[in-house]
Amino acid sequence: MEPHSLYLFCAVLALLVGGAFCSLIAGRAAAATASCACVAAGAVGLCLSLYLLLSGATLRVSFPLPLPLGECLFCVDRLSSVFLPPVFLLALIGGALLPGRLKSLAAEAAETGARLAVGRHCFFFCFLIAGMVMTLTAADAVLFLISWEIMSLMPFFLISPLDRDANERFAVWVYLTAAHLGVLPLLLLFAGMGAEAGGTDFALFATRGAWSHPCLYFMLALVGFGLKAGLVPLHVWMPEAHSSAPGHVAVLLSGAMLNVGLYGILRVLLLAGPPEAWWAYALMGAGVLSGVTGILLGLVQSDLKRTLAYSSAENMGIICLALGGALLACSIGSSAAALLLAGVFLHIWNHSLFKSLLFLAANAVKEHTHTMLIQRLGGLHKRIPFTGGCFALGSAAIAGIPPLNGFMSELLLYTGFAVGSKAAGNTETVLLFWGAFFVLGAIAGMALFAFTQAYGLAFLGAPRSAQSCQAREPETLFKAAMLLLALLCLCAGFAGPLLLKALSPFLVWFASGLGIPTAVCAEGMEAAATVLAWYAALGAALLALFVLVSLARGRAVGKNGFAEGVTWSCGYCRPTARMQYTGGAFARTFAMLLHPLARTRTVTPKVQGLFPGREKAIMTSPDWPTELWSSLLFRPVTAVAEAAKNLQTGLVNLYILYIFIALVAALTWALGWA
Amino acid sequence: MTVLPVAGNVLEALLGLVIISDFCLLGAERSRLCIRLVALQGVILGFMPVFAAGDGMTPWLAVAVAVFFVVKGGMLPLLLWHTYKKLHPRAPGASYLGNTASVLLGLAAFAFSLWLNSRLGIAANPLFSHIFPTAFATIFSGLLLITSRRMALAQIFGYLVMENGIYLLGAPMAQESAVWLEFSILMDILVAAFVMGIALTHINRAFDSTDVECFASLRD
């Protein structure tokens, strides 16, 4: 460990925390101060984390801060250094966009008469990034929980800076409730592990050979961290929070904070000792549920940002499925484990890139149209071609279209499942691997459908409302941020072999932590490198073909000219925007086929008489996991709380009577039956 | 520590008087009578450490007893009397339960205290077993008064009676340290009675009532 790395890590933390406090007192310069701090911390942190990842060095730093329990100990090991680059990259982008976003929010606040506390917003923004960095680097259970709390609490203040309406307020409260409920299993997890290990240092946990309740710890981790990662049915906070948050916050929430949840699961997998067989099944089950339900619910949404949020649940599901597959392959000693792990980590990076790009593009649309409802958008690509292009590229990447980065990681997963099925000794394992293969294929197919819908209906065709006509391109810096992410999505697709080479030492280290021999791992790496090399070559050929076709089209158009007409006229004499496909109509077939998971409700009016009046058919797609939680947990708790309110009558006499009854009951119990 | 035979009989009689005054307080409706009963209880309790301490009496304990006597038997009832006179209209201390039910509940509380005493087993200090049922019944009577009375002044009686019960419970341990503890509680109660008296006068002036049901409208 070199001292300069240590100083740089301290500088990153100092920049973020210092930036937060300075922005509180900076007055009008608050946004600029926080922006500078975030950009500087992001740039330094990105370089440092990439350096640590490539060099394989471990950074360990202890601060002499008096914590009530545990120690203020940070450690950037290989696992942390894989998760840190997306956080720092998005901190850099979010920080750079912060002044512009706040200016736009301030203009909206001035129009609506709302109040925007810029200093406080910047303070919480800096602390959100600091919380994520601290969580990813904490090497002590108590410090980890403190960092986790900081990270979890900050979005509560950031999601709705203008407090626009009841929906936003609901989103904020749902987020806060979910965040707090999610901490409970983690508290139990670390309390249990700490009590058993006789300390709270992660190094102590790692050196302990066998735990008395490893399965319990795994389940607690899956629930606690799965909630943060947005796995269905624990995703309840995600659609609300992601769709309400302003652009610079949504980028961090979707591209970085979800990863922290995955980091927690992976960290516990390393700490909890050799994985048991059923952990793989549990992870695969959670992955299938999250992947399929997530994309189906995304498909039937009418709000563009909600579709993106559900697609995050889908991607987290894919990662979970692949991780389960890796554990399964690990149990049979197959090299597929290395392939799947490589796919998992590359997909984590890729998801951060394309999801941030999509959220930025969606926010650019929302800024001037003030709506995210697909049935109110349409024809945006003509008005905002740059944003439209970025959204199209992001959609293609997330839908797994070559040569972009989405399919690069998914291809590794397909290969991993296929290799795993070959190595499997018994029929059940073969079926599991092939099942995972086909489920992944189905999820990818539905994702393609969902993003064709999202892009096609919102950006193509004719505008469905006046709001859609108001769309304008964002400011230059915003465009630069989208361009950077789009280029990264494109380049990552071709740079698969390079990325794999950079990740290789980490993957060998991680696989050995799960009990995979180095030789088996190397075999898997070799296979992965071959697959990625082929993918890059195929991608290059596809790109060349695309360029050639575009050039040929350009020439043809230049020679023959072109006629302008209404989009999708489909043989109608006088087509209008209302004749276009709506989101509901587009997704109806899928929704009907997979009704048990999509649960779409349609209210069709009865048309009577020869000249019926105007009627409306309404198709709604409620989030059934949320409704399930609501009926199983929240409504009973609310009913009990409402009943408990009756105890508060305001009469002093009654309050004393409660004490009286409690005293008599306690005495009777203590002396009569104890 | 042992109790002298003569002192033991007097102690029994005094404990009986405390219990009777508890029942009278529960059954009483007029505030004037209640104040007198609280004063009587204070006087009886003021004597209690003398009998409880027996041959362990020290000059400091005697001074403390004198202070108890003055405060419990004199100052607190006078304070209440002063507050009572300022209240307009002079509301009777009506009970939610009715007088008969209050007394019956007091009896039940006494029976419960006796049962508790039987369950406690043999205490290290035999005087404790003597005093315990009365002390607990007094605490319960105080709680009953607070719970069942409609007027705020009657609730102050309840607090004082409850404190009397706590004091009585500590009487068997009438050594200097315990007395100082009691003394500090007594001072707290004195200040509390002052504050409650002043607050009550102001509430009465502002709202023309000291009915606690009306206070419920002030809750959030």
Helix (H/G/I), strand (E/B), else coil: A453: helix
Note the pLDDT of residue B2. Answer: 47
The angle that helices A258-271 and A166-197 make with each other, rounded to 10 degrees, is 10
| Stretch among A287-301, A458-472, A608-622, B106-120 having the lowest mean pLDDT | A608-622
Note the pLDDT of residue A347. Answer: 95
Q: How confident is the model at residue A570 (pLDDT cuts 50, 70, 90)?
A: low
Q: Do A653 and B144 touch (CB under 8 A)?
A: no
Note the pLDDT of residue B174. Answer: 60
Note the pLDDT of residue B128. Answer: 78
Distance CA A498, CA A500 (A): 5
Asked if the model's pLDDT at residue A482 lies above 90, the reply is yes
What are the pLDDT digits (tens) for A266-276?
999 988 878 88
Span A128-145, mean pLDDT? 94
Note the pLDDT of residue A587. Answer: 81
pLDDT over 70 percentage in chain A: 98
Q: CB distance from B217 to chain A under 8 Å? A: yes
Contact A272, A239 (CB under 8 A): no
Helix (H/G/I), strand (E/B), else coil: B95: strand
Tell me which range, A406-415, A582-591, B198-207, is most confidently predicted by mean pLDDT: A406-415
| Stretch among A268-277, A404-413, A531-540 having the lowest mean pLDDT | A268-277
Note the pLDDT of residue B218. Answer: 62
What CA dihedral angle connects A425, A427, A430 and A433, to 10 degrees? -120
Asked if the model's pLDDT at residue A1 lies above 60, the reply is no
Q: Do A660 and B147 touch (CB under 8 A)?
A: yes
Dihedrals phi, psi of A646, to nearest 5 degrees? -65, -20
What are the pLDDT digits (tens) for A214-225?
889 999 999 999
Cross-chain CB nearest to B215 (options A650, A659, A671): A650
Note the pLDDT of residue A224. Answer: 95
Q: How confident is the model at residue B150 (pLDDT cuts 50, 70, 90)?
A: confident
Note the pLDDT of residue A603. Answer: 84
ipTM: 0.75
Asked if the model's pLDDT at residue A32 lies above 80, the reply is yes
Q: How confident is the model at residue A378 (pLDDT cuts 50, 70, 90)?
A: confident
| Stretch among A171-185, A487-501, B176-190 having the lowest mean pLDDT | B176-190
Note the pLDDT of residue A79. Answer: 93
Distance CA A152, CA A147 (A): 8
Chain B hits for A672, CB-CB cut-off 8 Å, are 119
Note the pLDDT of residue A217. Answer: 93
**What is the chain B residue with the closest CA to A672?**
B119
Chain B hits for A660, CB-CB cut-off 8 Å, are 140, 143-144, 147
Asked if the model's pLDDT at residue B184 lies above 70, the reply is no
Q: How confident is the model at residue A415 (pLDDT cuts 50, 70, 90)?
A: very high
The more confidently predicted of residues A193 and B198 is: A193
Asked if the model's pLDDT at residue A532 lies above 50, the reply is yes
Asked if the model's pLDDT at residue A138 lies above 90, the reply is yes
Asked if the model's pLDDT at residue A547 lies above 50, the reply is yes
Distance CA A140, CA A146 (A): 10
Q: CB distance from A655 to chain B under 8 Å? A: no
Note the pLDDT of residue A288. Answer: 96
Locate all alpha helices (DSSP H) within chain B, ordered by sequence. 5-27, 31-53, 59-70, 76-86, 99-120, 126-148, 152-170, 176-207, 212-215
Note the pLDDT of residue A594. Answer: 80
Interface of B with A in 108-147 (CB under 8 A): 112, 116, 119-120, 140, 143-144, 146-147
User: What region does B219 belong to: left with phi over 0, alpha with psi -120 to 50, or beta?
Assistant: beta
Distance CA B65, CA B45 (A): 9
> Rounded to a whole number, what is the distance in angstroms from the first to the last CA of chain A?
60
Per the DSSP assignment, residues forming a β-bridge with A629 are: none
Q: How confident is the model at residue A395 (pLDDT cuts 50, 70, 90)?
A: very high
Structure tokens at A595: 């009704």
Contact A365, A472 (CB under 8 A): no
The more confidently predicted of residues A208 and B18 is: B18
Span B174-193, mean pLDDT? 66
Note the pLDDT of residue B6. Answer: 52
Asked if the model's pLDDT at residue B1 lies above 50, the reply is no
Distance CA A358, CA A537 (A): 26
Cross-chain CB nearest to B146 (options A650, A656, A667): A656
Asked if the model's pLDDT at residue B88 lies above 70, the reply is no
Q: Which residues of A272-303 are buried (b: 16+ CB within 10 A; e: fewer)?
A: bbebeeebbebbbebbbbbbbbbbbbbbbbbb
Note the pLDDT of residue B91. Answer: 56
Span A511-540, mean pLDDT? 90
The domain locations on chain A are 1-211+259-265, 274-558+581-598
Dihedrals phi, psi of B43, to nearest 5 degrees? -65, -45
**What is the chain B residue with the closest CA to A650?**
B216
Q: Do B216 and A651 touch (CB under 8 A)?
A: yes
- Mean pLDDT score across all residues of chain A: 89
Interface of A with B in 299-328 (CB under 8 A): none
Burial label for A632, CB within 10 Å (0-12, 13-18, 19+), is: exposed
Note the pLDDT of residue A669. Answer: 87
Asked if the model's pLDDT at residue A141 lies above 80, the reply is yes
| CB pairs A-B closer than 8 Å | 40
Locate all alpha helices (DSSP H) within A517-623, ordered by sequence. 518-560, 583-593, 595-598
What are the pLDDT digits (tens) for A326-357?
999 998 888 899 999 999 999 999 999 999 99
Asked if the model's pLDDT at residue A87 lies above 60, the reply is yes
Chain B hits for A652, CB-CB cut-off 8 Å, are 146, 155, 212, 215
Contact A322, A280 (CB under 8 A): no
Q: Which of A585, A606, A611, A588 is nearest to A598 (CA)?
A: A588
Distance CA A500, CA A345 (A): 10
Q: CB distance from B199 to chain A under 8 Å? A: no
Distance CA A597, CA A92 (A): 38
What are the pLDDT digits (tens) for A648-673?
877 777 887 888 888 888 888 887 76
